[in-house]
Structure 1
Amino acid sequence: MSIEEEAKAVVLQYVAAFNQGDLEELKALLAEGAEIQGVMGQGLIEKIEPIWRQLIEGYGMRLQVEELIAEGNIVAARYVETGIFRAPAFGNQPTGKSYELVAMEWFEIEDGKIKRRWGARDAASQARQLGIPLS
C-alpha cells in the first residue's frame, strides 16, 4: 500500500468513527499531542472532545465522503455533512430540523495517526437550516 493509500485509510477510519459517534476510537486515531483546528475552535483533544460530542449527540452529524485527495501523508477530504438537531447543543434547544452542507477537512498523517486536522464548514448555513438564531 502506498503512503497515500495508507493516509486515506486513516481518514476513512476517522469518518467511520465519527459517524458511529465513537469518541474513544476517534481519540485512538490521534497522535499524541495532535492539533485539531476548525470553525468552532482549536486545540488538543481535551478541548475539542466536548465540541465533537455536541456535534454528534446534539446535531446527529454525519459525514459522507465525496472526495479524498492525497499527496504523501497529507489528505484533503470533501464531505456532504448532514444532521438533525435532536438534543441540546451549544446552548440551544433542539428544533428537530435537519441540515445539509459541504464540509472540508485537511489531515496530516504520521505513523498511521492523525497529527493535525483542519476543518472548514459553513456554520452560518448550518445554524439557519437548524433554526438557530445567528448572533
Structure 2
Amino acid sequence: MSEQNKRVVLAYVDAFNRADLDAVCAAFAPDALIHGALGWGGLDIARPIWSDLMRCFQVSLEVDAMVAEGDTVVVRYTERGRSVAPFRGGAVTGKDYQLVAMEWFVVKEGHIERRWGARDSASMFRQMDLTPP
C-alpha cells in the first residue's frame, strides 16, 4: 500500500510541475482537507491558491526524499520558482527563489485525503524582493 500511496503523491507532484490544476485537484478526495502556508480548507480554498502560485511564480517541486508508511506519505522538496506575474496585487520582479519545502499526506483509496505543507514563505518573498501578502 505504501508504494501505491507514493505513486499518488508523485502524480500530484508531476501535475503541479506541469501546472495542470485539474490533475492536481483530481489527486485529492472531494472532501480533502488541505493545510498550507497561505490558508487551509477544502479544494475550494486550495485551488485558487495553487492557481496563483502556478501562474505568478511558476513553482516547480523536485522530490529530494520521500517516506511512506501505511496511509502516510512525507516528502521533502527543493522548491523553485520565479516572479512572473503579479501575486495578490504585488509587483513582478523576474527574480528566482529556491527553498526547502515539506508536505505530509494521508492517502486513502487512491486519493489524498489530508495534506499539510510547510515552507519558508517569508524567504520565498524575500528572495524575489516581494512583500508577503
Please indicate, yes or no, whether the TM-score normalized by the shorter chain is above 0.5: yes
Matched, 1:14 2:12: yes
The amino acid of 2:11's aligned partner reads Q
Inter-partner Cα distance in structure 1 for 2:88 and 2:105: 25
**TM-score of the superposed pair, with normalisation by structure 1:** 0.95
Residue 33 of structure 1 aligns to a residue whose secondary structure is strand
Superposition RMSD on alpha carbons, in Å? 1.0
Q: Is the deviation greater in 88-97 or in 17-26?
A: 88-97
Cα distance between partner residues in 2 of 1:134 and 1:11: 28
- Number of aligned residues: 133
Once residues 89 and 42 of structure 2 are traced to their aligned partners in structure 1, the CA distance between those partners, rounded to angstroms, is 22
**Paired position in structure 2 for 1:36:** 34
Matched, 1:52 2:50: yes
Report % sequence identity. 45
1:108 & 1:90 partners in 2: Cα distance? 30
Q: Which secondary structure does the structure 1 equivalent of 2:57 belong to?
A: coil
Q: 1:64 aligns with which of 53, 62, 65?
A: 62
**TM-score w.r.t. length of structure 2:** 0.97
Structure 1 regions of 5+ residues with no counterpart? none
> What is the CA-CA distance between 1:50 and the residue it aligns to?
1.0
Runs of 4 or more, structure 1, over 4 Å off, are none
